[in-house]
């Protein structure tokens, strides 16, 4: 009898439902508005979310990451993240003066069009007024163009010096090489590792955190390249942002299918379908088609709703897209919903303002083995 009771108790524990949540926190300082003001409300919201496993993206800065970990440690004692390390250009300087200055040259354009601008204003000016000259630079010196892109958010002087500095190799990625990923869990995590995608990443370093989570199986937490064709010229090794995203999806899928374990892949995949009967628009559908061939996307199948939405003022989009997903394999999904949609009050320049937690909403699903 003791054996039967023990077996029954073990089975009940093993089958206990587990809540998974993915959330792009949008803590991209100088790019996504109000990052500094939003971090405290984000922590409060995550504390109230009552998930078992949290996959966070765009926690780029070490200070923000440490604050989130410490603030939520009593609820989520287990964490997984990687050291922030920059990857640098193959030589110094990576750009020649004549590649940057002169008629139709990129730096000449930025100095003329974007002089005395910093932060968000400088980034916007470069994208909108000097994009064509950057494309020409990419075609002649890809690493030079990639390094310049990685300086987004800096002043024009600092950006130029970074790529013509003869004493230090230029950085290839934004945010000091951070991947922006943070995995938190109430349950024990083992076999923690990193799937590195730096060789197929442009502008921001792309990776996937990987861990075995008690009562779930293998968990991946990732953030794939966005389609920035309307915002920034592509300076990577492929022909487009979409091709880069697809290559990352392939690499993630190859690793995930290598083990015969229940698996959940969580994050901002920057791909999504236009679902019939909804107002959802498509985005890099080839990548999502690939992932859907092997994994279940419960939120899209059962309760499709946008996570990057026109109603969200921080997002700055006119379209509604479902680009944040939790893909599962070997797990039963009992519920799914879009979460973290609330607005919060923050103080901007001495005045209260009602804003969304992030430019993205989150996704939560409940799973059982």
Residue range 168-214, pLDDT digits in tens: 999 999 999 999 999 999 999 999 999 999 999 999 999 999 999 99
Q: What is the pTM of this model?
A: 0.90
Q: Work out whether the CA dihedral 159, 138, 224, 317 comes out positive or negative.
A: positive
Reported confidence tier of residue 83, pLDDT bands at 50, 70, 90 = very high
In the chain, % of residues over pLDDT 90: 77
Would you say 270 and 359 are in contact if contact means Cβ atoms under 8 Å apart? no
Mean pLDDT over each residue of the chain, to the nearest integer: 92
CB atoms within 10 A of CB 235: 22
- Residue 167 CA to residue 279 CA, distance in Å, equals 52
Residue range 56-68, pLDDT digits in tens: 999 999 999 999 9
Reported confidence tier of residue 11, pLDDT bands at 50, 70, 90 = very low
In the chain, % of residues over pLDDT 70: 95
Nearest Cα to 205, choosing from 119, 86, 291, 324? 86
What burial class does residue 8 get, using C-beta atoms within 10 Å of its C-beta: 0-12 exposed, 13-18 middle, 19+ buried? exposed
Reported confidence tier of residue 369, pLDDT bands at 50, 70, 90 = confident
Beta strands 263-268; 217-223: pairing state: parallel
Residues 6+ apart with CB under 8 A from 107: 100, 101, 156, 160
Q: What's the pLDDT at 12?
A: 44
- What size, in residues, is the chain? 369
Would you say 131 and 7 are in contact if contact means Cβ atoms under 8 Å apart? no
Least confident stretch, 27-41, 123-137, 189-203: 123-137
Nearest Cα to 271, choosing from 280, 260, 259? 280
Q: Which tokens belong to 158?
A: 């600092």
Q: What's the pLDDT at 47?
A: 97
Reported confidence tier of residue 165, pLDDT bands at 50, 70, 90 = very high
Reported confidence tier of residue 311, pLDDT bands at 50, 70, 90 = very high
Residue range 219-240, pLDDT digits in tens: 999 999 999 987 777 889 898 9
Q: What's the pLDDT at 30?
A: 83
Q: Taking 70 as the threshold, does the pLDDT of residue 340 lie above it?
A: yes
Which residues pair with residue 21 across a beta bridge?
54, 364
What is the C-alpha radius of gyration for the chain, rounded to an integer number of angstroms? 22
């Amino acid at each position: 009898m003791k054996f039967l009771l023990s077996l029954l108790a073990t089975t009940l524990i093993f089958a206990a439902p587990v809540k998974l949540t993915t959330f792009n926190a949008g803590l991209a300082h100088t790019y996504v508005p109000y990052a500094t003001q939003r971090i405290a409300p984000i922590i409060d919201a995550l504390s109230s979310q009552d998930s078992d496993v949290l996959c966070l993206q765009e926690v780029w800065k070490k200070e923000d990451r440490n604050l989130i970990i410490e603030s939520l440690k009593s609820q989520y004692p287990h964490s997984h993240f990687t050291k922030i390390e920059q990857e640098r250009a193959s030589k110094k300087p990576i750009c020649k003066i004549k590649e940057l200055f002169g008629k139709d040259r990129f730096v000449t354009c930025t100095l003329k069009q974007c002089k005395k601008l910093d932060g968000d204003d400088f980034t916007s000016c470069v994208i909108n007024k000097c994009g064509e000259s950057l494309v020409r630079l990419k075609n002649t010196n890809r690493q030079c163009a990639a390094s310049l892109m990685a300086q987004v958010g800096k002043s024009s002087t600092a950006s130029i010096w970074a790529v013509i500095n003869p004493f230090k190799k230029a950085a290839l990625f934004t945010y000091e090489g951070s991947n922006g990923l943070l995995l938190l869990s109430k349950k024990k995590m083992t076999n923690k590792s990193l799937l590195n995608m730096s060789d197929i990443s442009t502008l921001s370093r792309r990776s996937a955190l990987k861990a075995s989570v008690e009562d779930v199986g293998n968990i991946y937490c990732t953030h794939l390249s966005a389609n920035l064709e309307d915002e920034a010229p592509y300076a990577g090794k492929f022909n487009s942002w979409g091709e880069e995203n697809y290559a990352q999806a392939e690499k993630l899928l190859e690793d995930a299918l290598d083990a015969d374990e229940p698996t959940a892949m969580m994050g901002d995949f920057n791909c999504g379908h236009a679902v019939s009967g909804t107002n959802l628009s498509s985005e890099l559908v080839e990548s999502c088609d690939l992932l859907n061939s092997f994994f279940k996307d419960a939120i899209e199948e059962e309760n499709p709703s946008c996570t990057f939405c026109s109603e969200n003022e921080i997002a700055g989009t006119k379209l509604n897209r479902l680009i944040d997903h939790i893909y599962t394999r070997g797990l039963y999904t009992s519920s799914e919903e879009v979460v973290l949609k609330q607005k919060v009050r923050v103080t901007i320049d001495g005045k209260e303002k009602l804003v969304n937690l992030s430019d993205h909403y989150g996704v939560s699903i409940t799973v059982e083995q």
